[in-house]
Amino acid sequence: MQAAYITKTGSYQQIQVGNLPDPVIKPNEVLVKVQAVAVNHVDTFVRSGAFKTELTLPAVIGRDAVGTVQALGSAVTAFEAGQLVWTNSMGYAGRRTTRSDQCVSRDSS
């Protein structure tokens, strides 16, 4: 997948754009084909390391996205393939983030 990501926290110069492996979804997650994203101050704080949260590196930066469900985990019941969805506040507590052409979100039903 094409993504904006960091391999360590720091200045904006840490942001790289390139290919990363496609995400593998867990049973309670959905894979979303991203159509649009939003950037806010929290993205800057996480990238810089000023907002302390669990990050798995390389970390795709970003929190908010809109797109369509591409694939469903085996335990997902609240979504279906092709459904238009949105997600916000991704990236907290180790959750994956959204600034790529795909993202993963949890089914919270």
Q: Which of 109, 90, 85 is nearest to 32 (CA)?
A: 85
Q: What is the mean pLDDT of residues 9-30?
A: 89
Count of domains observed in the chain: 1
Q: Provide the b/e sequence for 19-29 (b: ≥16 CB within 10 Å).
A: eeeebebeebb
Contact 46, 80 (CB under 8 A): no
Residues in a beta bridge with 86: 66
Residues in a beta bridge with 17: 4
Domain that holds residue 12: 2-106
pTM: 0.74
pLDDT for the residue numbered 25? 86
Contact 85, 109 (CB under 8 A): no
pLDDT in tens, 37-96: 877 788 888 889 998 888 888 888 777 888 899 999 999 999 999 999 988 766 556 666
Over 60: is that where the pLDDT of 105 sits?
no
CATH of the domain at 15: 3.90.180.10
